[in-house]
């Protein structure tokens, strides 16, 4: 091991513990995974275009995109709570570890679990989850973009527990899965994802409306945690707000308008959501986001 390798190993551990402290990660498996996976191997060559918290907050408030470049290509530059560009022209980023870390923490990842990851990008967070579930677990990851899927396949070659698929995950995905992470903005959860959740399993997904002022590929909305009860009921609660790249191929334009109207109802209305209904019913005052196949409801 070279001096640089040792330095990066120490930086990864500090990075992981800093993320743990700042966003209050509860899972030791997740902290160890952040300390283990070499983020730089899942990124384009540096120097890198990055976004910090202040940049993201500025954009979410309606300001124009503002990015900055790292001074050099030292891998240590990516071991901070920043989003790193995969394709700046498309506003496509390897997400902020503190943000994705919270989402993954809510999934309760542990050795031996079965995970579905929709929107693998270059594979970094797929690798983090693979570390969490270990060699006895399984991660099925989908990436719709051809170039990203080919790169992710190469990047994940050292993880035999990962099955990387080039598709949009709209067809049956198999399962059951103990945890499902959707890492792109959608207008609604697909039936194939809901059908794949094991009893006791959890789904994290961003529900977003497209925001043309932020660019054609970005949207704003909320992140929802769905939990499959042993009685097959689906509990739901909104965890946080988000600005994220929009999923390709699985958004419903009609639902996009409905999501925008639901978000305009304000935080008090979102926070009343406690259930995901899949039964056929007419829209009612208890429905926060009512769709043809499912409804986020307050009762």
CATH of the domain at 227: 3.40.50.150
pLDDT over 90 at 246, yes or no: no
Distance CA 147, CA 155 (A): 12
pLDDT over 60 at 2, yes or no: no
pLDDT value of residue 54: 52
pLDDT value of residue 89: 83
Q: Where are the beta strands (DSSP E) in the chain?
A: 49-51, 68-69, 83-87, 92-94, 114-118, 138-142, 162-165, 177-182, 197-210, 218-228, 234-245, 275-277, 287-290, 295-297
Domain that holds residue 283: 3-297
| Lowest-confidence pick of 70-74, 85-89, 106-110 | 85-89
pLDDT, tens digit, 9 for 90 and up, residues 20-40: 999 999 999 999 999 999 999
pLDDT over 90 at 175, yes or no: no
pLDDT, tens digit, 9 for 90 and up, residues 110-169: 999 999 999 999 999 999 999 999 999 999 999 999 999 999 999 999 999 999 999 999
- Confidence class for position 90, pLDDT limits 50, 70, 90: confident
pLDDT value of residue 292: 87
pLDDT over 80 at 220, yes or no: yes
Distance CA 140, CA 34 (A): 19
Taking alpha carbons only, the member of 265, 293, 289 closest to residue 279 is 293
pLDDT value of residue 58: 43
Classify the phi-psi angles of 242: left when phi > 0, otherwise alpha if psi is within -120 to 50, otherwise beta: beta
Q: Which of the two residues, 4 and 133, has the higher pLDDT score? A: 133
pLDDT value of residue 5: 60
pLDDT, tens digit, 9 for 90 and up, residues 40-61: 999 999 999 998 765 554 444 4
pLDDT value of residue 55: 54
SS3 12: helix
Q: How many domains does the chain have?
A: 1
Bridge-partner residues for 118, per DSSP? 142, 182
Average pLDDT over residues 94-108: 96
pLDDT value of residue 249: 87
pLDDT value of residue 248: 86
């Amino acid at each position: 091991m070279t001096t640089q390798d040792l330095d990066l190993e120490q930086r990864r551990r500090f990075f992981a513990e800093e993320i743990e402290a700042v966003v209050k990660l509860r899972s030791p498996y997740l902290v160890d995974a952040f300390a283990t996976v070499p983020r730089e191997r899942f990124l384009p060559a540096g120097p890198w275009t990055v976004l910090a918290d202040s940049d993201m907050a500025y954009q979410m408030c309606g300001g124009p995109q503002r990015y900055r470049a790292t001074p050099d290509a030292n891998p240590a530059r990516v071991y901070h709570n920043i989003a790193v560009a995969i394709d700046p022209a498309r506003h496509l980023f390897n997400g902020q570890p503190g943000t994705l870390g919270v989402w993954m923490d809510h999934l309760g990842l542990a050795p031996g679990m079965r995970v579905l990851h929709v929107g693998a990008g270059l594979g970094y967070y797929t690798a983090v989850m693979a570390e969490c579930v270990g060699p006895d677990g399984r991660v099925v990851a989908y990436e719709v973009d051809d170039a990203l899927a080919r790169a992710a396949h190469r990047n994940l070659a050292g993880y035999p527990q990962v099955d990387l698929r080039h598709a949009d995950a709209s067809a049956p995905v198999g399962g059951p899965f103990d945890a499902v992470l959707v890492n792109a903005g959608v207008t609604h959860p697909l039936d194939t994802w809901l059908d794949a959740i094991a009893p006791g399993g959890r789904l994290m997904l961003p529900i977003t409306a497209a925001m043309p002022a932020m660019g054609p590929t970005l949207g704003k909305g909320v992140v929802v945690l769905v939990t499959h009860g042993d009685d097959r009921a689906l509990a739901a609660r909104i965890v946080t707000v988000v600005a994220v790249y929009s999923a390709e191929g699985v958004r419903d334009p009609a639902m996009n308008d409905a999501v925008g109207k639901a978000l305009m109802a304000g935080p008090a209305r979102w926070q009343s959501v406690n259930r995901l209904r899949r039964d056929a019913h007419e829209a009612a005052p208890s429905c926060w986001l009512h769709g043809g196949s499912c409804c986020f409801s307050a009762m």
